[in-house]
Structure 1
Amino acid sequence: MSSSSSDELEERLNEAFDDVFEDIYNNIVEAQTKKQRKRAYIERNREEGHTRLWNDYFSEDPTFPAHLFRRRFRMNKELFMRIVHRLSENVQFFQHRRDATGRYGLSPLQKCTAAIHLLGYGSAANTVDEYLRLSESTAISCLQNFTEGIIQLFGDEYLRRPTPEDLQRLLDIGEKRGFPGMVGSIDCMHWEWKNCPTAWKGQYTRGSGKPTIVLEAVASHDL
């Protein structure tokens, strides 16, 4: 076969391949376009969610007393408000702003409470919808921005190794409170890993038969 015939055959094969590839690509794009549907908007009345949350925990005469706040938020109110204040000042996601219609969005309290509930209880993102009036996707965004904001704003001060001065201060506090030699109190819990890869399941399964991750928390007296 001459070189000219070989070149002509190769050119025709390339043209045929390009036609087939283009048809397949167009079919895939068309199928994906048909599957895309406009997401249904749900009016959740976010203002009502903020008002309920404020009256329940943050007003001058809240529905639930301080010990229930400590139990449900896993920290005292002063610490929680400090976190909310820092996040709303320094992280754009937590700033209370108006949308294009002039309506205020979710408040920093709603967003931080959603993140704390997901972290504190290990619950699904859609469990805060009915009370806080925010969607599942927004709750996930709250959690992501909350953890990133905490690392950014408090990492240098709290998420570091203790210095000798820190250790001595904690030892002195522990001794005054009747616990000589104690640096801090530690607690552990097993948190179920719902989406644990099958190949890893045996490494994270104990007596319950379900894969879990051990969470450890160390706290000083002033938490």
Structure 2
Amino acid sequence: ASSLNNLGYAYHSLGRYSEAIEYYQQSLTIQREIGDRRGEAFSLNGLGYAYNALGRYSEAIEYHQQSLTIQREIGDRRGEASSLNNLGYAYHSLGRYSEAIEYYQQSLTIQREIGDRRGEAVSLLALGKLYQKTGRIREGFAASQQATLIYQELDLPLNAYPYPNWMKQIVKFAQRSRFHLILCFILGVFAFPFALVWFILLILYRLIRNLFSHR
């Protein structure tokens, strides 16, 4: 069952989601036969990931919900937090932001209780994005800032940060030498006015949309 799960993960990483689902499903069948509840929850989460990647969000939610039920039954708090995060991500993908926020907040509470700092940062980043999307700009900024501080505190390598690859590539470029750092600074000075205008327009758009949606 473990090997089948690993194959599912490998095919998922290749973007071959149908094959990933097939392996996760085979693993799930075995885990149910042998009564491995933790493994069953793991396979259900894998199926949820794969269906989410295919845009089949309702099915993804169903599998993540089943996983969450098992995690709660066996008392796996870390697994429970992970399933709640997965549900948050699926509802976010559906555009149901209020429900997504609710699940991420539940996950965040558990992560703080069990001292999972990295998981806490992941949930805070997700909440930061959702708060900004729903016009809660100040809360979004605060959540993102908290997440950044946790990552700095953990002193993780750059690749461990859940930031876009283009951003990581810029940082790596700047770290090569003093010349590369100066070049990035100069380009940043030229790019900043355009980025600032775009950011202000984005905030105004969200504030206006939020204002009219409540009328």
Shorter-normalised TM range? under 0.3
TM-score normalized by the length of structure 1: 0.21
Q: Higher strand share goes to which structure?
A: 1
Larger Rg: 1
Higher RCO structure (Cα 8 Å, ≥6 apart): 1
